[in-house]
């Protein structure tokens, strides 16, 4: 079956531009996560949705980062006025259950390069 | 979530067992041990998880010490496609859903 998909796979932005990154989770998955992965590092948590509710946004690095999931399915991560330090791979993951020890399924990521 | 310690890199010969260690000495009673791996240019992939008993699935085995302060992921017959960064993560099974990744272990399987 279809896994988590993300688009675009690659994005180049000039410093100061706004970008929008899309995540299509696995159908029926309640939970959706965004992570940021800098070069040579492990992924770092950004934000978490349960259906359409954003329950945790403690990892968003600044108010330039905004995420939404209005209908509890597709999610968009928006970065305003991009800076060079925003260059990273942005990973989306989804999982089925609300709580417990369920695995997260990751998409391939969007590689953002800010020039 | 408790912190984990892993060696930065390991090598393994193709066809041999790969044993990847992880220390998590501050793990608490309700925290699970998870293993994910990330092949180059892909998203992380779930491998296995456990609470206190040893676990086995089609990909790997997870051995957790009795005191739960360390664990070992075993790939019984490593192939070249197992070359990846392997992450050991300790996570509560309750309301704290996020995964806290460290730097992991780069496993290189050599022909």
Rounded-to-5 percentages of helix, strand, coil across chain B = 5, 50, 50
For chain A, how many residues are written?
A: 115
Considering chain B, what is the average pLDDT of its residues?
93
**Contact A68/B at CB under 8 A:** no
State whether A99 and B100 contact (CB < 8 Å): no
Which of B42, B51, B99 faces A104 most closely, judged by CB atoms?
Answer: B99
Q: Cβ A93–B43 below 8 Å, yes or no?
A: yes
Alpha-carbon distance of B5 to B23, in angstroms, equals: 5
Structure tokens at B41: 């240019």
CB contact under 8 A, A109 and B43: yes
Query: pLDDT, tens digit, for every residue of A58-108?
Result: 999 999 999 999 999 999 999 999 999 999 999 999 988 665 557 889 999
Q: What is the interface size between A and B, counted as CB pairs within 8 Å? A: 59
Please tell me the predicted confidence (pLDDT) of residue A103: 85
Shortest CA distance from A97: residue in chain B: B97
Q: Please state, for a pLDDT cut of 90, what percent of chain A lies above it.
A: 85
Token pair 């159908």: residue: A27
What is the pLDDT confidence band of residue B97, given thresholds at 50, 70 and 90? confident
Give the pLDDT band of residue A37 (cuts 50, 70, 90).
very high
Residue B105, pLDDT score: 98
Residue B17: cis peptide before it, omega within 30 degrees of 0: no
Distance CA B38, CA B43 (A): 6
- CA B105 from chain center: how many Å? 9
Whether residues A42 and B42 touch (CB distance < 8 A) is answered with no
Identify all chain B residues contacting A105, using CB atoms and an 8 Å cutoff.
46
Q: Which residue of B has its CA nearest to A43?
A: B101
The enclosing H or E element of B9 equals strand B9-13
pLDDT at residue A98 in the model: 60
Question: SS3 for A5?
Answer: strand
Sign of CA dihedral A103, A46, A26, B60: negative
Give the pLDDT of residue A65: 98
Q: Do residues B8 and B105 make contact, with C-beta atoms less than 8 angstroms apart?
A: yes
Residues in B closer than 8 angstroms to A109, CB to CB, are 42-43
B35-59 tens-digit pLDDT: 999 999 999 999 999 999 899 999 9
Q: How many residues does chain B have?
A: 111
Mutate to test the interface with A, among B97, B100, B101, B104 (most CBs of A within 10 A): B97
């Amino acid at each position: 079956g279809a896994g988590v998909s993300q688009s675009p796979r690659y994005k180049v932005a000039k410093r100061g531009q706004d970008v929008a990154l899309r995540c299509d989770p696995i159908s029926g998955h309640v939970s959706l996560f965004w992570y940021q992965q800098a070069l040579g590092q492990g992924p770092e948590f950004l934000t978490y949705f349960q259906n359409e509710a954003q329950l945790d946004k403690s990892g968003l690095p600044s108010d330039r980062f905004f995420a939404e999931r209005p209908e509890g399915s597709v999610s968009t991560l928006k970065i305003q006025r991009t800076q060079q330090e925003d260059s990273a791979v942005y990973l989306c993951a989804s999982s089925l259950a609300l709580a417990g020890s369920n695995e997260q399924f990751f998409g391939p990521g969007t590689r953002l390069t800010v020039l | 979530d408790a912190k984990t310690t892993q060696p930065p890199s390991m090598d393994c010969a193709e066809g041999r067992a790969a044993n990847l260690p992880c220390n998590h000495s501050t793990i608490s009673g309700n925290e699970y041990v998870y293993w994910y791996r990330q092949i180059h240019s892909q998203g992380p992939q779930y491998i296995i998880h456990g609470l206190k008993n040893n676990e086995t699935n089609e990909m790997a085995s997870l051995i957790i010490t009795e005191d739960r302060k360390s664990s070992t992921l075993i790939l019984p017959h490593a192939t070249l496609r197992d070359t990846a960064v392997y992450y050991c993560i300790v996570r509560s099974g309750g309301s704290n859903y996020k995964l806290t990744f460290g730097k992991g272990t780069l496993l290189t399987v050599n022909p």
